[in-house]
Amino acid sequence: MARSADPELRELLERLYDRYNRPEFIPDDPISVPHRYSATADREIAGFFAATIAWGNRKAIVRSGHRMMRCMDDAPADFVRNASERELAALDGFVHRTFNGQDLRDFVLALRRLCTVYGGIGAFFERRYEATGSLRQVLAEFRREFFAADHAPRCEKHLSSVERGAACKRLCMYLRWMVRRDDRGVDFGAWTAIPMSALYLPLDVHVGDMGRALGLLARRQNDWRAVEEITAALREYDPDDPVRYDFSLFGAGIHSIKN
């Protein structure tokens, strides 16, 4: 079981949080993609696509995310809502690892339907959270609603299913970007109807390994049960904003590599 509120661990988490939750963190992170924009609608779309391709080498993710925005004429919200068939066809040349131009086209059209029906990604998440009070349930509903649009089955692998027990790291990271708010200016804090306390930690192999090394996680698999476990452990340190320690666990890995 994860230990509760260890003073030395608290000091480490706070020190690393302070070191990495700052504007200097932004350029080399996928969050730099939505930071290109000032309008919430653009940030929602850009952030969703940047999170979607956020696996593998961070520098490659950032390059691909910015390239994706250029494919959308640097106006992602307008592109999603209004791109013509000719403009959509221009996406065919995009590729980031296994996420290709057809996947991107299908995702654009899925978001177009979501924006038409609900008014935007944020409107969907906020409305459904207010109705259910369960972010896990909203993640499941979002995936079902997203793929209600016509799409090639192959693209479904790029949006994890919490109902199948996936950790949903990229969606949890995206939610952190859009919901968390503080005075540091890294996350956006745009979706105010969802409390920060409801967020779940974005869990990947690296964060899972650090969580185990620090005694925050006992479960061996990096699945949704592990997400719940490590998030509950972090709530012992900050019940109102447990996911802010995402910066600390990332920083612990970087710190251990450098030292």
pLDDT value at residue 259: 46
Q: Chain centroid to CA 128: how far?
A: 18
| Domain boundaries of the chain, sorted by first residue | 7-258
pTM attached to this predicted model: 0.95
pLDDT value at residue 256: 61
pLDDT value at residue 4: 60
Dist CA 126 CA 80 (whole Å): 20
Tokens of 171: 């969606």
Contact indicator for 243, 231 with CB cutoff of 8 Å: yes
Give the closest residue to 227 by CA, choosing from 257, 249, 253. Answer: 249
Q: What is the pLDDT along the chain (259 residues), one digit of tens a residue?
A: 445 679 999 999 999 999 999 999 999 999 999 999 999 999 999 999 999 999 989 999 999 999 999 999 999 999 999 999 999 999 999 999 999 999 999 999 999 999 999 999 999 999 999 999 999 999 999 999 999 999 999 999 999 999 999 999 999 999 999 999 999 999 999 999 999 999 999 999 999 999 999 999 999 999 999 999 999 999 999 999 999 999 999 887 765 644 4
3-state SS, 221-236, equals CCCHHHHHHHHHHHHC
Dist CA 90 CA 174 (whole Å): 26
